[in-house]
Amino acid sequence: MKAIGPTLAAVLLLAGQSLASEYPATAPGAPDDSDLQQRLERLEAETQMLRAELGQIQSRPIPLPPVGGPQYNTVSKSAAEDEVEYMTMEDIRAEMKKLAWSKGDFKIVPYGILWGQTVYETSRTYMGDYTLWAISGDEEGEDAIHFNGKGTRLGLDVSGPKLPFFCCASSGGKVEIDFEGNFVTENKPGVLLRHAYWEVKNDDFRLLMGQTWDVIAPLNPNCVMYSVFWGAGNIGYRRAQLRYERYLTLTDAWKLQLQGALATDAGHDFTNGAATNGDHAGWPIVEMRVGTTIGNDLPIAFGVSGHVGEVLFDFPGADDTARKTWSLNADLKVPVTERLGFQGEFFTGTNLKTFLGGIVQGVNCGGTNDEIRSTGGWANVYYDLTSRLHTSVGYTIDDPIDADIITANGRLYNHAYWGNVTYDVTKKFLLGLEVSQWKTLFTDRSPGDSTRIEFAGKYAF
């Protein structure tokens, strides 16, 4: 910005020299004094105009892009610019100093989401505050209302020095908790560890160790509900793992992502109410995914993923019985325009309870003790009415094989339709209203059928 002043002076000097060379005082046919005076006055007016524009440029504030909080697809550039908030560079530096703590070479940035919700359901669901399936009308046919703040999250993002041993890649990590853990009474929730890992990464690779999301089935529907339709067609959860990712740029518009992880099996199953403790096998769960991104302005993302592993169960009279677990998955995200998009996932597999598949059923505890096979998925269309007002509709289904479920109160089928509207009051404050219709079928009782209405507010910092 400081270089504009000398540049302007140079332009004016060249203009003056050009004028002098074009009309030298001693040249024959030179303009008379009145003609020369008019040209000088016009040049002086142009100089004053350029100086005024320079002053406006130097005093103009810098737009601040969104940082953190819920992210949404943006609308057209002109519409977004109409509602963008501006801050000066001094304001930006002051805000960054408030957000970050420094300790040696490490920078620690705290963040969080204050999350409150109100839920009304025409017939009770499990868990109530959020829904995995609808409870049979033979057991709980009454309506219910819930108030909940346990989804509130607190976290720390850590960035550290570059590590020469890892090709000078940047080091860092994350710790994040919420309050959806086990509790004795509803207003005394427990702490739930969501993420806790360290990592090194650059534009070519990422190495991670700790607890975070599964490699498989990485997408989540655009929904208001905390549980993002787990148990109803959306599989994948968080678990401890050793993970490696490789990023390849094949062309300017074609990128490839290779991911792999060795993960804990988290072997515990309480299918159908009969508690059956699991134990770790002699080898970890192996998760893999190959993803590709095609395009620049509106990139299409597609991936194929899967896992394979083994879980040991202490069945009555048959301790440490091995049961396999595997899945094959596909994920797709297509931004049709800057406002309109589609995304979805498909899965099929066996013994998927700890991945929240099979309507959260893995094996037939107390029955044949065999694995439960299941297939399902979800589809979601989203549209941004404005840069602040967003809509989303979708359908999700989880359909285990009926013959695999022979115990009492086994869940045979689960699906849900949903639609929502969310509004960004500010870049950090969101309000949302969501309506979903649930239906769950059981082996030996009437179906569960419930309409769920949720209003939620999320304030990020």
222-249 pLDDT, tens digit per residue, is 999 999 999 999 999 999 999 999 999 9
Q: Classify residue 226 as left (phi > 0), alpha (psi -120 to 50) or beta.
A: alpha
What pTM was computed for the model? Answer: 0.77
Backbone angles phi, psi at 22, to 5 degrees: -75, -35
Q: Interhelix angle for 33-59 vs 4-22, to 10°?
A: 170
Q: In 3-state terms, the chain is what percent helix, strand and coil (to 5)? A: 15, 50, 35
Tokens representing residue 420 in the block: 């929502």
Closest CA to 311 of 275, 353, 347, 272: 353
Closest CA to 439 of 129, 120, 125, 119: 125
pLDDT at residue number 90: 63
Contacting residues for 286 by C-beta, under 8 A, at least 6 apart = 260, 261, 262, 263, 307, 308, 309
pLDDT of 54-101, one tens digit each? 666 555 554 444 444 444 343 344 443 444 445 565 665 566 556 678
- What structural domains does the chain harbor? 4-20+33-60 (no CATH), 112-460 (2.40.160.10)
Contacting residues for 189 by C-beta, under 8 A, at least 6 apart = 150, 179, 180, 181, 183
pLDDT at residue number 216: 98
Tokens representing residue 68 in the block: 């953190």
pLDDT at residue number 23: 46
Please return the burial class of 167, using the count of CB atoms within 10 Å of its CB with bins 0-12, 13-18 and 19+: exposed
Furthest CA-CA distance within the chain: 118
Low-confidence ranges of the chain (pLDDT < 50): 1-16, 19-31, 62-85, 269-275
pLDDT at residue number 292: 98
Measured CA to CA, the distance from residue 280 to residue 263 in angstroms comes to: 11
pLDDT at residue number 314: 77
pLDDT at residue number 8: 43
